[in-house]
Homo-oligomer: A and B are copies of this chain.
């Protein structure tokens, strides 16, 4: 298992933020966690609202916590609200089950970490995450198509 570096995390974030600006999205916050769920890097547009760092981090931690992307987390949360309510409490809120949390996989499918984005709609957040992960040469796992 190789380890995600700060340089790679930073590259994912910068590409994702640039994509958000290119598409005229709302101001974003982007967080990248390593495979152990620990923050490698985070950047928040200074115009983004106050809870965005926690939401971005919670999206990234949620996908690592359960092992599948935010889109699958959202489907399961819709079917099992009591379970996801318990998960949210277990994680101290650090579990946000919506699109925009994306697993970062290498070419063997190994999980290297996760990226979480918050600021625009969940679909737009996810779009920027996928762009950032792909540009860095990794595979973005969003949790399957709807």
Complex CA distance for A97 and B86, rounded to whole angstroms:
8
Residue numbers in B under 8 Å from A51 (CB-CB): 65-66, 87, 90-91, 95
Residue numbers in B under 8 Å from A1 (CB-CB): 1-3
Complex CA distance for A118 and B82, rounded to whole angstroms:
16
Q: Answer yes or no: A50 CB below 8 A from chain B CBs.
A: yes
Residue numbers in B under 8 Å from A6 (CB-CB): 43-46
Partner of A81, one of B39, B44, B82, B93: B82
Residue numbers in B under 8 Å from A85 (CB-CB): 81-82, 84-85, 88
CB within 8 Å of B: which of A47-66? 48-51, 53-55, 58, 61, 64-66
